[in-house]
Amino acid sequence: MAKILVTGACGYIGSHIAKSACEAGHCVHALDNEYSGNNIPKYITKFYKVDIREINEVICIGEHYDAIIHCAALISVAESVEKPNSYYETNVQGTINVVQNVKHDHFIFASTGGAFDPISPYAKSKIIAEEAVKQIADDYTIFRFFNVAGNNGEFRQICDPSHLMHIAALTAVGKRDSITIFGNDYDTSDGTCIRDYVHVVDLAEAILRSINTPTNTPYECIGSGAGYSNLEVVNTMRRVTGVDFQVNKGARRAGDPAKLVVDNLSKYVSINHTLGDMCRSAYTMEKK
């Protein structure tokens, strides 16, 4: 059993990791800047209400962890274009604060597949944070997440909707009138962006497999190795739900590359869910 700190533990990915870690027998402590959203108390033994931008030598966590799983971050590509300073402050300086001031044996950093084509301030902030982790942490694993989707039937995405599958699920349920696909003139099979999708439970389990074996490699990729266009995702949501919702076409968004797909999956990844599984679980959760 390992003693683990999950930052951003009330968020979408953090909550799934906390639950999976608890069920695997680990002692889980949680850190977030607010105790709301996904209800995680039964899966953790201690909670720190702390903003990662404020962790320093005075406000530090008086524990030593076998592993820190650092998920706390700002994550919206569109927002990062409008507010780049906030993204560098939280995603870079916040990460430095945690890695410097919380004692640990293994620092596991949640980065992004967008780092392969860093157009947005969000992606750039993650690349800088990756370099900081490599310089400061003695042992680390940097995971570049591709599009994370689906849920475990208990936790969900609680932020303002920005991810395609989340918005498609909301539209299928009837909480939105329509969905807009941004850009239909990319150099892809149907003109829409292509992304690699991975189920959040598969992602959580991959991270837990790494706890005792830091890689100290430049990065590890968590995805499925398969690319799906935005239109394919929307049509899959229509198929598994049986709802023929309205789809609009919009202009390209700043910061969106045409294609992001994993070339080399991390050795820790085992894929047990399909795109249809992700769409179905996202729809079912929103329907609740």
Catalytic residues: 122
**Overall pTM surpassing 0.85 (yes/no):** yes
Would you say 248 and 180 are in contact if contact means Cβ atoms under 8 Å apart?
Answer: yes
pLDDT of residue 133: 98
Give the pLDDT means over successive 10-residue stretches in the chain (288 positions).
95 95 97 85 94 81 94 91 96 97 97 90 97 98 94 78 87 96 94 95 97 97 95 97 95 85 94 96 90
State the Cα–Cα distance between residues 123 and 217, nearest whole angstrom.
Answer: 19
pLDDT of residue 76: 86
CATH class of 3-287: alpha beta
**Residues sharing a CB contact under 8 Å with residue 86, sequence separation 6 or more, in sequence order:** 74, 79, 80
The per-residue DSSP string of 264-278 comes to SB-TT------HHHH
**Residue 79 φ/ψ, nearest 5 degrees:** -65, -35
pLDDT by residue (tens digit) across 245-261?
999 999 998 778 899 89
Domain boundaries, the chain: 3-287
